[in-house]
């Protein structure tokens, strides 16, 4: 049987492909477990300096597999248990991973699938892709951090309408509204996403991880505290070999050779 997650180790980066194409890569338990294990292995491996997340087939991810929601013996569903066990830890893994995570949205991203994409750092989408906050269509609230992330990306008015109406946001709207970095032609998406991830894997990884931490915290703090955090993180970056190398390369007018390390 095909693995539900394809893990493809490249030179300094890893490509993760959700691989349940006949179900539009919706999440069952096996996919959750495989993705959690892969992200934990990546976090523990200093040789990995960037991640690319994408989907197999014509969709990126249709959120929860609606045919595989765990059912108790009395026939009831505790969706809170699924969210607590799988979706919340997944979003926090992506948010806290001290590496750039690129997401290549190759097709429809619905429900949790859309919000998983928005939890990544740099999102590229195929021109034919769309993002659907499908939750209201089945009587649920948006989860996987969508109510936190989407209003910050596109503003409250758009987030509210997208979530209450469940209407698709096209890839071009997503780019124009600031929800994603870039739209690519469908046949150019993967090459562009791989090129970008490979580039990030050669960059000063420690500084990029610190940048991610600063951005993650910026909307829930005040300016004075954020300035203090920038000061601390800048001090840490200034002590890295990559800072020394970056300045030397600038002075010598050559391309820097970053190690990505903190020490």
Would you tell me which residues interact with ligand T3D (CB under 6 A)?
23-24, 26, 62-67, 69, 79, 82-83, 87, 108, 110-112, 132, 134-135, 138, 140, 143
Nearer to ligand T3D, 148 or 233 (CB): 148
Nearer to ligand T3D, 50 or 134 (CB): 134
Nearer to ligand T3D, 139 or 251 (CB): 139
> Of all residues in the chain, what percent are helix, strand and coil, respectively (each to 5)?
50, 15, 35
Minimum CB separation from ligand T3D for residue 94, in Å?
15
Minimum CB separation from ligand T3D for residue 124, in Å?
19
Minimum CB separation from ligand T3D for residue 138, in Å?
5
Give the C-alpha separation, 42 to 30, whole Å. 18
Nearer to ligand T3D, 64 or 106 (CB): 64
Helices (H), the chain: 29-43, 79-82, 88-96, 112-118, 146-154, 156-165, 171-176, 189-200, 205-218, 223-238, 241-251
Minimum CB separation from ligand T3D for residue 233, in Å?
34
Q: How many other β-carbons are positioned within 10 Å of the β-carbon of residue 214?
A: 16
Nearer to ligand T3D, 39 or 83 (CB): 83
Nearer to ligand T3D, 26 or 205 (CB): 26
- Angle subtended at Cα 221 by Cα 215 and Cα 225, rounded to the nearest 5 degrees: 95
Nearest partner of 133 among 155, 152, 118, judged by Cα: 118
DSSP characters over 147-166: HHHHHHHH-HHHHHHHHHH-
* Token pair of 139 as six digits: 């009587």
Q: How many other β-carbons are positioned within 10 Å of the β-carbon of residue 111?
A: 27
Residue nearest to ligand T3D (CB): 63
Minimum CB separation from ligand T3D for residue 237, in Å?
37
Minimum CB separation from ligand T3D for residue 255, in Å?
43
């Amino acid at each position: 049987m095909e693995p539900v997650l394809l893990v493809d180790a490249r030179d300094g980066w890893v490509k993760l492909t959700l691989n349940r194409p006949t179900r539009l890569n919706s999440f069952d338990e096996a996919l959750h477990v495989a993705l959690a294990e892969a992200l934990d292995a990546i976090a523990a491996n200093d040789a990995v300096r960037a991640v690319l997340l994408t989907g197999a087939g014509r969709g990126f991810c249709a959120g929860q597999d609606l045919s595989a929601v765990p059912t108790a013996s009395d026939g009831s569903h505790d969706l809170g248990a699924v969210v607590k066990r799988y979706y919340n830890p997944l979003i926090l893994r992506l948010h806290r991973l001290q590496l750039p995570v690129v997401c290549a949205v190759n097709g429809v991203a619905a429900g949790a699938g859309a919000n998983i994409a928005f939890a990544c750092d740099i999102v590229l989408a195929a021109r034919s892709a769309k993002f659907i906050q499908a939750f209201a269509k089945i009587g649920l609230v948006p989860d996987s951090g969508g109510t936190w992330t989407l209003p910050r990306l596109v503003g409250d008015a758009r987030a509210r309408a997208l979530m209450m109406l469940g209407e698709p946001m096209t890839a071009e709207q997503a780019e124009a509204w600031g929800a994603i970095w870039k739209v690519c032609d469908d046949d150019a998406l993967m090459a562009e996403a791989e090129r970008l991830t490979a580039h990030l894997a050669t960059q000063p990884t420690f500084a990029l991880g610190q940048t991610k931490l600063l951005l993650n915290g910026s909307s829930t703090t005040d300016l004075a505290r954020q300035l203090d955090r920038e000061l601390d993180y800048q001090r840490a970056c200034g002590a890295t070999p990559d800072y020394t190398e970056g300045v030397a390369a600038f002075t010598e007018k050559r391309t820097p050779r970053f190690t990505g390390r903190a020490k």
